[in-house]
Amino acid sequence: MAAQERLRAILRQGLAKLDLTLSDAQQQTLLDYVALLDKWNKAYNLSAVRDPLQMISRHLLDSLTVAPCLAEIQADTQHSLSVLDVGTGAGLPGIPLAICYPDIKFILLDSNGKKTRFLFQVKTMLSLDNIQVENTRIERYQCPEQIDIVVSRAFASLSDFVLGCEHLCQPHTRLLAMKGLYPEQELADLPSHWRLQQASAVQVPDTEGERHIIELKQTGKN
C-alpha cells in the first residue's frame, strides 16, 4: 500500500472510532496538513513527533477528540462560535478542528514566531479562511470580538490556564483543557471563581494512556 493510502486508511479508521463523519475533501485537507507539518518540521522543529503515521493519531485524532464538545456547545448557541486556541504551536488542536468545522472561526495564538509563520503558510496553502493567526502571548492579547470557547493542549496547570485567559472571558465563555490523567489536584487548586463544568474521558485511537477534556466555567454565571 502506498504511503499516502496507508495514512488515508489510518485516518479513516480513526475517524470511525471517534464517530466523526468528514467528507473526502476534509480528510484530504487533514492529510495535506500532515504533509506540510512533516515538511516544515524538518527545518523548524515544530513537533517532537517525526513520523507522519504517528502524527495521524497523536496530532489529528487527539485534536479531534474535542469535536463533540464543540458540537454540543454550538447546538446551544444561536450564533456561529468563535474559538481561541492558546499556545497552539503547530496548530493543535485548532487546525484539525477548523478543517472539521468550517463554519466556526478559530483564532490560533502562539508567541513563537517560527510556529506562527508555519500557521500562516498552512492557512494560505490549505485555503483555511476560518482561521486567524496571532503571534503574541495570551496575557497581552486583546480580542475585539467575543470569545465563546478557549481551548488548549499547552498549559502546565489549569490555574495558569484560567488566569492567563480570563481577561478574554465573558459570562458564557467555556474553557476546554486537554489533559492526560484526570487532574484532580489541579481542579482543587483552581481559583474560587472558576469551577468544573464537566470532565470527559476520551480514547484517542491507536494511542495508549489516559486523556481527559476538562470544561471550566466561571462560578455564578450561566
Instruction: Show binding-site residues for S-adenosyl-L-methionine.
Output: 87, 92, 138-139, 153
Determine the length of the chain.
Answer: 222
Q: How far apart are CA 214 and CA 160, in angstroms?
A: 14
Nearest to 176 by CA among 159, 201, 198: 198
Specify binding-site residues. 87, 92, 138-139, 153
Cβ count within 10 A of residue 156: 8
Q: Which residues are within 8 A (CB) of 78 and not within 5 positions of it... i.e. 6 or more apart?
A: none
